[in-house]
Amino acid sequence: MQIIKEPHKLTAIIKSYKKRGKTIGFVPTMGALHNGHVSLIKKARKENNIVVLSIFVNPTQFGPKEDYKKYPRNFSRDSAIAKKTGVDIIFAPEVKDIYKSGFSTYIEETNLSHILEGAIRPDHFRGVTTVVLKLFNTVQPDISYFGQKDYQQAVIIKKMVKDLNLDTEIKVLPTVREKDSLAQSSRNIYLNKEERKSAIVLYSSLIYAKELIENGLTDAEEIKKRMRETITKERLAKIDYIEIREPETLQPVKKITREVVILLAVKFGKVRLIDNVIMN
């Protein structure tokens, strides 16, 4: 396994692989790897000749009051996991190599980036699309792998690829969960014992909504109300949003007659967690 820091070096290596007809699978991450990341890497390993994993904590997607400085970083643990899982190249650039002095060009999806997560985190998706496009330009992947856990992010990336005619296929893989069904996340380690226990309510409220729909309830407001009641029973939970949306446009749905995505963001103390399920 190679560890590459400089973007121009990676570009040269990728070029030589491509010349030899090798396909490139790409998994972009911010490190602090867990089983969610591992499932993306494993899928990339199965479907491509070369697997590139990027580890880059991207400053432009964090708000001024967010956890950029204390985001968990553990490169030696991450590279051991990557090696074991079959990664060929770790791309771990430094901030100064991605955002060179005087950097002033951003890429922004303008329709879906300011709702849901974007309403609460105003510049977040601009940071995500900017860094992902830069990573795509460097890695030149045939297939790129993202997690359903960050549902809105995956929709926005797909939109960017379509709108800008980017030549990479996007695959979105299911959310990997802990035994008690909390979605795996690098931020779960911030939860104290009590918060960790309460956080189970995220997924259980989504499953509750799923059951309500399966039993014939179609009124989105009523479903959201019942989810809210379930979640507020947890003393430590503070709801940011509960939404039922159309899966691609992310527009609100009033009456559930077709596939929908149910998304929620809930705070436990200082830790903000998101989760979602698709109902078809």
User: Which residues are known catalytic residues?
Assistant: 37
Position 146 contacts ligand AMP (CB under 6 A): yes
276 sits in which H/E element: strand 271-279
Closest approach, Cβ 164 to ligand AMP, in A, equals: 19
Q: Which amino acid is at 55?
A: I
Exactly one of 14, 24, 40, 273 binds ligand AMP (CB under 6 A); that residue is 40
Q: Are 249 and 156 in contact (CB under 8 A)?
A: no
Which residue lies nearer to ligand AMP by CB, 129 or 184? Answer: 184
187/35 Cα distance (integer angstroms): 13
Which residue lies nearer to ligand AMP by CB, 40 or 87? Answer: 40
Closest approach, Cβ 32 to ligand AMP, in A, equals: 7
Exactly one of 184, 198, 205, 276 binds ligand AMP (CB under 6 A); that residue is 184
Using left for φ > 0, alpha for ψ between -120 and 50, and beta otherwise, residue 181 falls in left
87 sits in which H/E element: none
Binding region for ligand AMP (CB under 6 A) out of 36-44, 84-92, 163-171, 247-255: 36-44
Position 79 contacts ligand AMP (CB under 6 A): no
At which residue do the structure tokens 């070369």 appear? 50
Position 150 contacts ligand AMP (CB under 6 A): yes
Q: Are 56 and 131 in contact (CB under 8 A)?
A: yes
Which residue lies nearer to ligand AMP by CB, 31 or 220? Answer: 31
Q: Which amino acid is at 244?
A: I
CA distances from 54 to 9, 92, 139, 228, 239 (A): 14, 6, 9, 37, 32
Give long-range contacts, CB 8 A cutoff, 24+ apart: 71-75.
71/30, 71/32, 71/186, 72/31, 72/32, 72/186, 72/189, 73/31, 73/32, 74/31, 74/32, 75/31
Closest approach, Cβ 170 to ligand AMP, in A, equals: 10
Number of chain residues interacting with ligand AMP (CB under 6 A): 17
Which residue lies nearer to ligand AMP by CB, 118 or 147? Answer: 147
Binding region for ligand AMP (CB under 6 A) out of 10-18, 117-125, 133-141, 175-183: 175-183
Which residue lies nearer to ligand AMP by CB, 147 or 223? Answer: 147
Phi, psi for 237 (deg, rounded to 5): -85, 130
Binding region for ligand AMP (CB under 6 A) out of 11-19, 135-143, 146-154, 253-261: 146-154
Position 185 contacts ligand AMP (CB under 6 A): yes
Residue ranges that bind ligand AMP, judged by CB under 6 A: 29-30, 36-37, 39-40, 146-147, 149-150, 173, 175-176, 183-186
